[in-house]
Structure 1
């Protein structure tokens, strides 16, 4: 080994020690290991590359293929977008149009998983009809599908994401790497002028299970040890100056696991949830982020030093899973101190359905069986050809979702966000009650109100632990005109 190579290895080992990686994270599985550069443990956090809209249009191509790429600090066979495990972020503004050509080059089954794919723009308020967010279509190998999404001018700013939503195989495809971020700009307009140019960091949480020199995707279990990455990097360093305010976009874009985020000595000041600005900023030192959820937060640098951004142990119940503590990134506070800014208390506009006229009430009950694992909504296993619920455009409905199982589940609905009215009988403050993915503890009840506007068409609601979705816990919702006037989804 040359002197240069020995030096690089020594540096890599030193950075691994400094970043606090535990023994389980340090295991090698026969995959290629990066000697230096952005793939090294402890390298500075890098935002993913961006594709940005111009003159109201974002045009891009996403190529889906199986490739051997850098995943953290090792090379693994993965399912990639544009040759990357952490693909480009799509950055748009309200009112923009997205024109996206999806090219399927997967070719053949991998670990028993279909090569067919599609794309879901998770959380975006766009039409569920083709060629927009139609999750029922299937893009065959060696074909291209041209998606087109028209964003409403009043779409809420924040962090969204995109991923495969192919029937019965969304979990393995997302676990294999098919996920990336979407950012709708506009959050900064709610900040005081002194904070509108602060540093912005993407903190995209992706996990994988490793088998030899590839990501294991099928059959996929939730419990086995997972390798957790941030922006596709292994335990990177996030730098901040003492007193500095930064905007972090925290996004769980994996298939199944939970994060219980904590950063010792730091408070997360939440300004948006699931792409919806809060009316009143709230502060917490711990954030539970189920699969698919996002939080946009302000963080402020403390005293000089280092601390671990970690996910703390999290238990989802006797029929569920127990997730261990894992260090995700090292936050290094240093450099010239800056005066700590006073953060506003109010943020986005208040949108409250408390006094809305309720056109209908619906009930959904989660149940499950084991050996073999099957998951149900109202006793029904998912069938894409069956319509389970019908809702009418330009109305508000109240839904009650009961988790009648011995493990936590999440609830996600496509096309429209919802206001959480209560969780297990406890009212939720409307100042920060809007979501489109929310966790429901075992044995508990979620009451929400949802306003159907702009778009008609078939869509779905489901648990966003994708293993559970693939094993039946999903229902079809048909949003119809109902004589109240055409929605944007009806325009020809």
Structure 2
């Protein structure tokens, strides 16, 4: 199986250039037009440590397509999916717009207590997310563990990274045609099959030693449901013990599972052991074969996995018995083109909270994968525990997927990051259509609100308009009027 190249931080800094570009590849004798990060499928794996500084010069190398029906089709940005870092510039602000030919310097610092784990990076320009992520622009972002922090069997296990990508060629072609994009295509034309790729390969072969534990880091770098469901990931005939979900260790390791129902955008770290020598085991998603495990001829013996619980950071303290702060329990319904019936607007706040609050959300996912930026949430009520999902677990991406027809209750505590926090459906064609919103976290306030409202910029706007109008009237007497508008979040940072 192909292993993506890797770049690690050094001296407390990870400083890289990431390019978004169109590329032509051949998979299963089909010629495909896709998107890549740094020209590879998937992009290079980035590895960083808690406390490190992450600096990424993002270059949008997409051309401005003259026949595009929507201006945003060639615009882009990046999202650090799973990182607990601020959501404003120069950090993980997905409202940023980087135009074709433009660039932006991202920079953020992971807190010293950041949970080690498996995360990923992908474009997140509202309106073009489905096309660019579905078109394969993604890479793994690993926050490494400190030496001596893991059980010996886990620390010494061979690591296997699996970036699973969903090339739904017919659906992507439909979206490309609607938007006027000519960069995503397949040949021969007709009805190409959907492909679930692992590290850029269709049905790769994963090498393993029989009887030896491996640590599999599984990223479903997905943009839609697979067969109206999650990626129901399993290794037939092999032992699977759950270690972490969404880049966060579970508190009751090892937990035996039969499959990992990973929603689009989600991740699972699983300890895997296949028993028999010179054997082939099937890697599946539901009924779909997506790869194989091929074991070597000589078996070894491995000790049983010992019980272990991680040290949890401040933003992951157990909230199962902690009530929400007054007024901070709100309902969130994820719909196909809206959240709580309101399509996304940069000027509309869904909910409001404040630093130090215990926030509760009753989320009705309705079969939609719900994702929340920078504050993960704890599952506290609304369904019965199963092997993969336990009450008390932490997620940043969740879909009930038959667990319950009732809203799932989650809680999180706003510890030190204030500002705007994005949340959305990770069926990214739904997100592009409006199934996205943001909450504001006040650094100084003490009250929550569950009612969507316009941003409180009215007075500023009224003053600005009045002053501008007066200036124009005065200048018009002399025969001219200058008018100039700026947008502070647009890095249209295209070529000069």
Name the counterpart of 2:10. 54
Name the counterpart of 1:81. 37
Name the counterpart of 1:318. none
**Maintained 8 Å contact 2:328/2:353:** no
Residue number among 266, 280, 284 corresponding to 1:310 in the alignment: 284
**Maintained 8 Å contact 1:111/1:218:** no
**Maintained 8 Å contact 1:208/1:215:** no
Residue number among 333, 340, 362 corresponding to 1:400 in the alignment: 362
**Maintained 8 Å contact 1:411/1:440:** no
Q: Give the whole-Å Cα distance in 2 for the aligned partners of 1:356 and 1:344.
A: 30
Name the counterpart of 2:188. none
**Maintained 8 Å contact 2:334/2:368:** no
How much has 1:253 moved relative to structure 2? 0.2
**Maintained 8 Å contact 2:170/2:194:** no
Count of aligned pairs: 417
Deviations 1:141-183 (A, max 9, x none): 1111000010001110110011111012211110112211100
> More strand per residue: 1 or 2?
1
Deviations 1:81-125 (A, max 9, x none): 111121101100100101100011101248756110000000100
Scaled by the length of structure 2, what TM-score is found? Answer: 0.79
How much has 1:447 moved relative to structure 2? 0.2
> Counterparts in 2 of 1:179-194, with a 5 A limit?
179-186=138-145, 189-194=148-153
Residue number among 423, 428, 436 corresponding to 2:396 in the alignment: 436
Q: 1:363 to 1:136 in 2, by over 3 A?
A: same
Name the counterpart of 2:328. 361
SS at match of 1:355: coil
**Maintained 8 Å contact 1:175/1:217:** no
- 2:235 maps to 1:263: yes
Q: 1:220 to 1:287 in 2, by over 3 A?
A: farther
Q: 1:117 to 1:344 in 2, by over 3 A?
A: same
SS at match of 2:408: strand
Scaled by the length of structure 1, what TM-score is found? Answer: 0.79
Q: Give the whole-Å Cα distance in 1 for the aligned partners of 2:323 and 2:110.
A: 27
Q: 1:345 to 1:111 in 2, by over 3 A?
A: farther
How much has 1:436 moved relative to structure 2? 0.5
How much has 1:347 moved relative to structure 2? 3.1
Q: 1:227 to 1:119 in 2, by over 3 A?
A: same
Name the counterpart of 2:428. 466
Name the counterpart of 2:161. 202
CA RMSD of aligned residues (A): 2.6
> Counterparts in 2 of 1:162-241, with a 5 A limit?
162-186=121-145, 189-210=148-169, 217-218=175-176, 225-241=193-209
Name the counterpart of 2:270. 297
**Maintained 8 Å contact 2:170/2:192:** no
Alignment gaps of 5+ in structure 2: 180-190, 447-496
Q: Give the whole-Å Cα distance in 2 for the aligned partners of 1:272 and 1:378.
A: 30
How much has 1:193 moved relative to structure 2? 2.8
**After the TM superposition, which of the residue ranges 73-82 and 381-390 deviates more from structure 2?**
73-82
Q: Give the whole-Å Cα distance in 1 for the aligned partners of 2:390 and 2:419.
A: 31
Q: 1:352 to 1:303 in 2, by over 3 A?
A: same
